[in-house]
C-alpha cells in the first residue's frame, strides 16, 4: 500500500477567519503569551457524526475539549421546497409540506392549508377544525417526545428515549387510522380533510392521551431529578432572553428563556379559545429548562387532546365552498359534469384570488409560517416558509462558544433542529 | 514439577480460557435482552432459543468481515493495539481463586486457582492497568482526531480512577493483612456479629462500606462503562479509540471490555462479598446431602464455584442495569468526581481503617 504523508500545512491557516456565511463573529480574548494559539486542532463534526442528524455540520477549533471558535453549516438536505411551491398547484404542494418537519408532519399540513384557506376566505366546518386541532396536538406530543428522547440519547440515557418512543408509535397508529400513512401524512386538503376520522377514533385518541400521561410521569421520574442529567444540562447551552430575541427564537426554546409567547394562545386559530391549557415558561434558557418546558408542553397537549375528544361532534368535514370542494366520487363516476369537474379540478387546480398573506401557527418547534403571494393563478406566485429550526440553528454557534464538546451535543439536542425544515 | 501438576495446570488453564471466552457472548446476549426488558422491547429473539445464538452469529460476522486498514494508520501499533487490550484482560484471571482447595482421593491437593501468588492483588492491578496502553496505541495509530480524543480521554480517566481504585482496597488489605486473594477470601468466613439466629460473616462490604462504594464507582470508570463511557461516548466522539477498527480487531476490543468487566465483578465479589464462600443456606445443604469422602469434597467445591459465579453474575447484571439507567458524565465532571470526591474519600477510608485497627476494632 502506498504510504501517503499527511501534513498540517494542507489546511489553510485562516480557515476559520475567512468570511464564511453562517460563521458568527465572537470576540475571543487573545492571549499574547499563548504560543500554541495557531496550532489548535480543527475538528470537522458532521454531517455523518452521530449527533449531527446526518444533515448538519459544525467545524470547531478545539483547545483540548473546549470549543474556542466554530461555524455551523447546513443545507445538506436542501430540496428547494419554496421554488417547488411556485411550480405546483396548491393541492400538489401538500405532500411537500410533510417533509418539512417530518416529526410533526400533520402540523405542517394544517398550517399550509390554513394559509391557503385564509387567502381564499374559506371557512371550515366545526368537525374538520376539531380533528385538525387534535392532529396538531398529537404531532406536537410526538415531536416533543422525540426531542427530549434524542437529547437524552445524546447524553447516554437510552432507556428514557424508548419509553417515549413506544408512545410515539402508538400515536402513529392513531394517525395511520386517519389517513393510512404514519410519517408523511398529507392528511389535509384545502377546505377540508382527506377522510373523516373513523368511528371511535376520538375515544382511542383519548385513551392514548391518558396512557401517555402516565408514561410521561414515568419518564419524569426516571430522568428529571437524576443527578447526572441535571449536571449535564443545568447551565449548559444557555441562551438568554436577549439572545433569543436577537436570534428570533420562538416556541419552546424561547419559552425556556422566559419569553412568554405562544401563538396558540396569542393568535388563536381553530378552537384553541375553547380549551384550557397553560403555557409553560422557564427563566434560564439552558438545556434543562428547554427539557422541562417540553415535558410540560407534552402534558398540556395531551390535556388538549382529551378536551378535544370530549368536545368533538359529528358533522361534515368539507367546506361547502365550491372552489375548493373535491367532487364526491359518486358524482364523478356517474355524471358527465362531475367527471369534467373532477378532471379540471385536479389537472388545473383551483384559482386563488390575487393577494398575499403570511399565516403562522405554533408548530412544535416554534413559529411555522407560510408566506404565499398569489397573482390569481392556480399556482402561487411566490412562496416562503419560515421554519423555526433555521433560527434556532443559528444560535448554536454562540451557544457553544467556550464550552466543551459534550456540551455542544447537549445544546444541539435540546434546541431540536430538524433538518427537513432547516434546509427546506 | 511433576506430571500431575502439569496436567492439572493444563486442565485449569483450558477450563478458564473456555469459561472466559463464553462469558462475553453470554453477556452480550444478557445486555441486549436485558436492555430490551427494561425498554419494553423484545431484543434479539430469532436465532436459537430466546435468541441465545445471536452472539454466535455476531462472532461469525466479525470473523468473516473484511479487515482492511484505513489509509495513513501506523500499521505496527494499529495491529498491536487490540492484542494488548485483550491479553492483559485474560492474564489477570491467573490470580483469581474460583473455589477452595480440592483434595483428591489420592491425597493430592488441587488449588482451584491458576497461580496462588503472594502478591495476587498487586498482580491483578498491575496487569489490569496495562490495558490503557492498548487504548493509547489504538487512538494514536488510527490517525483520526476522534480516536485520539477517545484515547486521551480514556488514559486521563483510567489514570485518575486507578488512584482511587488502588486506595480504596488498601482498607481491605489492612483489615485482612494479606495480599493473597485466597487468604482474603478465607478470612471473610469468620463471623463478624450475631444478629439473633443469623450470623453476619466478616465480608468486606460490612467492614469497609465506604471503600466498597469508592471501589464500585472506580471499577465502572476503569471498565469504561456508562455512566463513565466517555472514551467511546457515541454521540460526542463517534466511537472513540476503536473508531477505525473493524472486523475481528473491533471484536477483540469488545471482548476485552467484557472480560475486564468480568474481572471487575470477580474482584468486587472476592474482596467485598466473600468470594467463593457459600451462599446462605448452602452449608446446610451440604450437611443434609449425607455424602462422605471425595463426593462430599467435590460437592462442596462445586457449590463454592457455583456461589462464586452466582455472585459474579449478579454484579455483571448490575453493570448492565446501571448502563441502561443512567446518562453519561461530561469529561470535566468525571475528572472532578475522580479527584475531588473519590480520591479524598478513598484517603479518608484508609485513615479511618488505620484508626480503627489501631483502636483494635478489627
The alpha-carbon gap from A220 to the nearest alpha carbon of chain B, in Å, equals: 13
**Cβ neighbours for B24, distance < 8 A, ≥ 6 positions apart:** B55, B254, B255, B258, B259
Cα torsion A4, A8, A9, A13 to 10°: value is 150
Mean pLDDT for the stretch of residues B66-78: 83
Share of chain B above pLDDT 70, in %: 98
Q: Which of B310, B111, B277, B309 is nearest to B188 (CA)?
A: B277
In chain A, which residues have their Cβ closer than 8 Å to the Cβ of B236?
51, 405-406, 409
- Interface contact B329, partner A, CB < 8 A: yes
pLDDT of residue A298: 92
pLDDT of residue A22: 46
Structure-model confidence comparison of residues B197 and A59, the more confident one: A59
- Interface contact A36, partner B, CB < 8 A: no
Q: Is B359 helix (H, G, I), strand (E, B) or coil?
A: coil
pLDDT of residue A15: 55
Structure-model confidence comparison of residues B113 and A115, the more confident one: A115
Subunit contact A405:B236, Cβ cutoff 8 A: yes
pLDDT of residue A16: 54
Indicate the average pLDDT of chain B. Answer: 84
Nearest by CB to B324, from A43, A158, A166: name it. Answer: A158
Domain boundaries, given as residue ranges, for chain B: 1-64, 68-307+327-358
- Interface contact B207, partner A, CB < 8 A: no
- Interface contact A16, partner B, CB < 8 A: no
Q: What is the ipTM of this complex?
A: 0.79
Whether residue B103 has pLDDT greater than 80: no
Whether residue B80 has pLDDT greater than 60: yes
Subunit contact B329:A404, Cβ cutoff 8 A: no
In chain A, which residues have their Cβ closer than 8 Å to the Cβ of B326?
156-157, 226, 228
For residue range B230-259, list pLDDT tens digits in order: 766 666 777 778 888 888 888 888 888 888
Domains in chain A (CATH in brackets) are 1-30 (no CATH), 89-423 (1.10.645.10)
CA dihedral sign of residues A399, A404, A409, A414: negative
- Interface contact B38, partner A, CB < 8 A: yes
pTM: 0.83
pLDDT of residue A5: 56
- A404: which strand partners? A66
Give the cell for residue A414: 435540546
Q: What is the DSSP string of B249-280?
A: HHHHHHHHHHHHHHHHHHHHHHHHS-TTPPPT
pLDDT of residue B223: 83
CA dihedral sign of residues A412, A413, A415, A417: positive
**Cβ neighbours for A276, distance < 8 A, ≥ 6 positions apart:** A303, A307
**Phi, psi (deg, nearest 5) at residue A58:** -130, 125
pLDDT of residue B224: 80
Nearest by CB to B145, from A41, A154, A231: name it. Answer: A41
For residue range B5-14, list pLDDT tens digits in order: 888 888 888 8
**Cβ neighbours for B60, distance < 8 A, ≥ 6 positions apart:** none
Q: pLDDT truncated to tens, each residue of chain A (424 aa)?
A: 455 555 555 555 555 555 544 444 445 566 677 777 767 788 888 788 887 877 888 888 888 788 888 888 888 888 888 888 888 888 888 888 888 888 888 899 889 998 888 888 888 888 888 998 999 999 999 999 988 988 888 888 888 888 888 888 889 998 998 888 888 888 888 888 888 888 888 889 989 999 999 999 988 888 888 888 888 888 888 888 888 888 888 889 999 888 888 888 888 888 888 888 888 998 888 889 999 999 999 999 999 999 998 888 888 888 888 888 888 888 889 898 889 988 888 888 888 888 888 888 888 888 888 999 988 888 888 888 988 888 888 888 888 888 888 888 888 888 888 888 888 8
pLDDT of residue A293: 92
Amino acid at each position: 500500500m502506498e504510504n501517503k504523508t499527511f501534513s498540517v500545512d494542507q489546511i489553510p491557516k485562516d480557515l476559520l477567519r475567512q468570511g464564511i456565511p453562517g460563521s458568527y463573529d465572537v470576540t475571543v480574548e487573545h492571549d499574547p503569551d499563548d504560543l500554541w494559539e495557531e496550532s489548535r486542532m480543527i475538528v470537522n463534526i458532521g454531517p455523518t457524526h452521530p449527533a449531527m442528524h446526518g444533515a448538519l455540520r459544525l467545524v470547531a477549533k478545539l483547545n483540548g475539549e473546549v470549543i474556542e471558535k466554530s461555524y455551523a453549516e447546513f443545507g445538506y438536505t436542501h430540496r428547494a421546497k419554496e421554488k417547488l411551491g411556485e411550480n405546483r398547484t396548491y393541492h400538489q404542494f401538500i405532500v411537500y409540506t410533510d417533509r418539512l418537519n417530518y416529526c410533526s408532519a400533520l402540523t405542517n399540513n394544517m398550517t399550509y392549508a390554513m394559509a391557503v384557506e385564509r387567502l381564499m376566505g374559506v371557512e371550515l366546518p366545526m368537525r374538520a377544525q376539531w380533528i385538525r386541532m387534535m392532529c396538531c396536538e398529537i404531532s406536537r406530543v410526538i415531536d416533543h417526545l422525540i426531542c427530549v428522547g434524542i437529547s437524552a440519547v445524546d447524553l447516554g440515557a437510552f432507556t428514557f428515549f424508548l419509553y417515549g418512543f413506544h408512545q410515539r408509535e402508538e400515536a402513529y397508529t392513531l394517525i395511520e387510522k386517519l389517513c393510512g400513512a404514519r410519517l408523511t401524512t398529507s392528511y389535509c386538503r384545502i377546505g377540508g380533510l382527506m377522510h373523516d376520522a373513523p368511528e371511535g377514533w376520538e375515544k382511542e385518541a383519548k385513551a392514548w392521551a391518558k396512557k401517555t400521561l402516565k408514561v410521561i410521569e414515568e419518564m419524569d421520574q426516571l430522568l428529571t431529578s437524576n443527578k447526572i442529567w441535571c449536571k449535564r444540562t443545568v447551565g449548559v447551552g444557555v441562551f438568554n432572553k436577549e439572545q433569543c430575541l436577537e436570534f428570533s427564537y420562538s416556541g419552546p426554546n424561547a419559552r425556556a428563556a422566559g419569553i412568554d409567547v405562544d401563538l396558540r394562545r396569542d393568535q388563536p386559530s381553530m378552537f384553541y379559545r375553547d380549551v384550557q391549557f397553560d403555557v409553560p415558561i422557564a427563566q434560564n434558557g439552558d438545556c434543562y429548562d428547554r427539557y422541562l418546558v417540553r415535558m410540560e408542553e407534552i402534558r398540556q397537549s395531551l390535556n388538549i387532546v382529551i378536551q378535544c375528544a370530549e368536545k368533538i361532534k359529528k358533522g361534515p368535514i368539507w367546506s361547502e365552498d365550491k372552489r375548493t370542494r373535491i367532487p364526491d366520487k359518486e358524482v364523478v363516476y356517474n355524471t358527465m359534469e362531475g367527471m369534467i369537474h373532477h378532471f379540471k379540478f385536479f389537472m388545473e387546480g383551483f384559482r386563488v384570488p390575487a393577494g398575499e398573506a403570511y399565516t403562522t401557527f405554533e408548530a412544535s418547534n416554534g413559529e411555522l409560517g407560510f408566506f404565499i403571494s398569489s397573482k390569481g393563478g392556480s399556482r402561487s406566485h411566490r412562496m416562503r416558509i419560515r421554519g423555526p429550526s433555521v433560527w434556532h440553528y443559528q444560535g448554536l454557534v454562540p451557544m457553544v462558544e467556550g464550552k466543551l464538546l459534550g456540551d455542544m451535543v447537549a445544546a444541539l439536542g435540546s434546541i431540536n433542529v430538524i433538518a427537513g425544515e432547516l434546509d427546506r | 514439577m511433576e506430571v500431575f501438576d502439569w496436567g492439572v495446570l493444563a486442565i485449569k488453564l483450558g477450563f478458564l480460557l473456555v469459561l472466559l471466552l463464553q462469558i462475553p457472548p453470554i453477556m452480550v446476549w444478557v445486555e441486549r435482552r436485558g436492555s430490551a426488558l427494561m425498554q419494553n422491547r423484545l431484543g434479539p429473539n430469532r436465532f436459537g432459543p430466546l435468541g441465545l445464538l445471536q452472539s454466535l452469529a455476531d462472532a461469525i460476522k466479525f470473523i468473516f468481515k473484511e479487515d482492511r486498514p484505513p489509509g495513513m494508520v501506523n500499521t505496527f501499533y494499529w495491529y498491536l493495539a487490540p492484542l494488548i487490550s485483550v491479553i492483559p484482560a485474560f492474564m489477570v484471571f491467573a490470580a483469581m481463586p474460583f473455589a477452595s482447595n480440592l483434595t483428591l482421593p489420592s491425597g493430592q491437593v488441587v488449588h482451584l486457582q491458576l497461580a496462588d501468588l503472594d502478591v495476587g492483588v498487586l498482580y491483578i492491578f498491575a496487569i489490569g492497568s496495562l490495558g490503557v496502553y492498548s487504548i493509547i496505541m489504538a487512538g494514536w495509530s488510527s490517525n483520526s482526531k476522534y480516536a485520539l480524543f477517545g484515547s486521551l480521554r480514556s488514559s486521563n480517566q483510567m489514570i485518575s480512577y486507578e488512584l482511587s481504585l488502588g486506595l480504596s482496597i488498601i482498607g481491605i488489605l489492612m483489615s485482612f493483612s494479606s495480599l493473597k486473594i485466597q487468604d482474603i477470601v478465607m478470612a471473610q468466613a469468620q463471623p463478624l456479629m450475631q444478629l439473633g439466629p443469623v450470623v453476619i460473616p466478616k465480608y468486606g462490604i460490612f467492614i469497609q462500606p465506604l471503600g466498597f462504594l469508592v471501589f464500585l464507582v472506580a471499577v465502572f470508570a476503569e471498565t469504561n462503562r456508562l455512566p463513565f463511557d466517555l472514551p467511546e461516548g457515541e454521540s460526542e466522539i463517534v466511537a472513540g479509540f476503536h473508531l477505525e477498527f473493524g472486523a475481528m480487531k473491533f471484536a477483540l476490543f469488545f471482548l476485552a471490555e467484557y472480560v475486564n468487566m468480568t474481572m471487575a465483578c470477580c474482584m468486587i465479589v472476592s474482596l467485598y462479598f466473600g468470594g467463593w464462600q457459600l451462599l446462605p443456606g448452602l452449608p446446610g445443604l451440604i450437611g443434609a446431602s449425607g455424602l462422605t469422602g471425595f463426593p462430599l469434597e467435590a460437592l462442596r467445591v462445586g457449590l463454592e464455584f457455583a456461589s462464586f459465579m452466582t455472585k459474579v453474575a449478579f454484579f455483571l447484571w448490575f453493570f448492565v442495569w446501571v448502563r441502561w439507567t443512567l446518562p453519561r458524565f461530561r469529561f470535566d465532571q468525571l475528572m472532578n468526581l475522580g479527584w475531588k470526591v473519590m480520591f479524598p474519600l478513598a484517603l479518608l477510608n484508609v485513615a479511618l481503617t488505620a484508626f480503627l485497627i489501631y483502636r483494635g476494632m478489627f
